[in-house]
Amino acid sequence: MTTTHRSTDAPLLSVEDLSVELRVGEEMRTVLKQVSFSVEAGQTVGLVGESGSGKSMTVRAISRLLPEGAQTSGRIGFDGLDVLDLRGEALRKYRASDVAMIFQDARAHTNPVRRIGDFLTESMILNGKIGRKKAEQTATELLEAVGIHDAARRLKQHPHELSGGLLQRVMIASAVAARPRLILADEPTTALDVTTQAEVMAILKRMQQEYGMAMLFITHDLELAGAVCDDTVVLYAGEVVEQQQAKRLHHDPLHPYTAALVQARPDINQRAERLPSVPGHPTTAYEAPAGCAFAPRCRFAQDRCRETKPELVAIGDHGESRCVRAVELRGTLLMSGTTPLTADTEEAAL
Ligand SMILES: Nc1ncnc2c1ncn2[C@@H]1O[C@H](COP(=O)(O)OP(=O)(O)O)[C@@H](O)[C@H]1O
Ligand code: SF4
Ligand SMILES: [Mg+2]
């Protein structure tokens, strides 16, 4: 079994100052601003933030699947490759065997008229490495590895005959088939009920450890990130606002936004979706105000926060925060009533 570990070698994936603009009509809109983080071999890094913060665009940039007309700057390094410069055969090989994606909506990423068996064997055969018979045998083994024991029957079925949880297991089997070194999992359990979510997560973690793969795990669920990740990167309005060890996030957040996510309790009626509810409305990178993007929702905001854009700075020896008050507020972010609400926050809460 491969365990996660830190090494002094270069990371497997390094995202450096990644900025992305997307075309909307005649206009280019910023969706990511100088995002930097890294993932080491075998490590699990969580990318956390509310809807619209730029999580999926980060993953799509890494897998070179951004919408047409997108403009990128910065660098994405993968084991010595400059991912943003890959073309032709080198790009095909990177996508086919270095990284693999698992999406939130498994059903939308399978063809309803193709059998599960064809879905699983197609890319193995296309990659030219093995014949149909061997591919079918591998598909059966993969389904068994993800806990589907009646594999022979399942291989003949169509996606609509499988539950969401079973289909997501098939997606995991498909993703690991080429033995990639990095799994990009974009909210892989969000569409599932809580029990199935736990089962699928356990399988994903087991496969990751058995195959020694690194994982970039995208979620808006801080609790889940804390449970499955080694490190966490928190995104707000297309920017990294905090980076630190996942296990510390819940009791020692370094940024007021992370603290607000920790304190947000999902509405009991929406428990299955586990939507965080931080007071106020999230902003996009494109619409973010000057200064701190979180200021309109921050209960600790002061005038200086709106005047200058905070830098991402190291706090202690285990994390980084993009908050000018991070050092001063450390240890108090989860307390209630220590700081009066600002006029902005009162307005947002109305
Ligand atoms: N095809 C697109 N064209 C223009 N803007 C987009 C497109 N897809 C997403 N966006 C915008 O990019 C931002 C980041 O989106 P996304 O990465 O999907 O967020 P997340 O995955 O964190 O919910 C959002 O503001 C979203 O509205
Ligand atoms: S810089 Fe100011 S507004 Fe932004 S998170 Fe820190 S305290 Fe809040
Ligand atoms: Mg998304």
What pLDDT digit, counting tens, does each position of 254-269 carry? 999 999 998 886 545 5
Q: What is the pLDDT of residue 5?
A: 44
Q: What is the mean pLDDT of residues 43-47?
A: 97
Chain centre to alpha carbon of residue 180? 17
> Which of the pair, 311 or 10, is modelled with greater confidence?
311
Binned at pLDDT 50, 70 and 90, residue 4 comes out as very low
pTM: 0.90
Q: Which of 26, 29, 31, 218 to mutate to test the pocket of ligand 1 (most atoms within 8 A of CB)?
A: 31
How many residues in the chain?
A: 350
Q: Could you tell me if the CB of 31 is within 6 A of ligand 2? A: no
Q: Where are the domains of the chain?
A: 253-349
User: Mean pLDDT, the chain, as a whole number?
Assistant: 88
Please say if the pLDDT value at position 320 is more than 50: yes
The rounded percent of the chain whose pLDDT value lies above 70 is 89
**Among residues 249, 260, 232, which one has the least CA distance to residue 47?**
232
Q: What is the mean pLDDT of residues 145-154?
A: 92
Q: Using CA positions, which residue lies closest to atom 12 of ligand 1?
A: 31
| Residue 270: burial class (beta carbons within 10 Å; 0-12, 13-18, 19+) | exposed
Q: What is the mean pLDDT of residues 327-337?
A: 87
Q: For residue 236, what is the enclosing H or E element?
A: strand 231-236
Q: Could you tell me if the CB of 323 is within 6 A of ligand 2? A: yes
> Which of the pair, 233 or 123, is modelled with greater confidence?
233
Q: What is the mean pLDDT of residues 212-218?
A: 96
**How far is it, in rounded angstroms, from Cα 74 to Cα 221?**
28
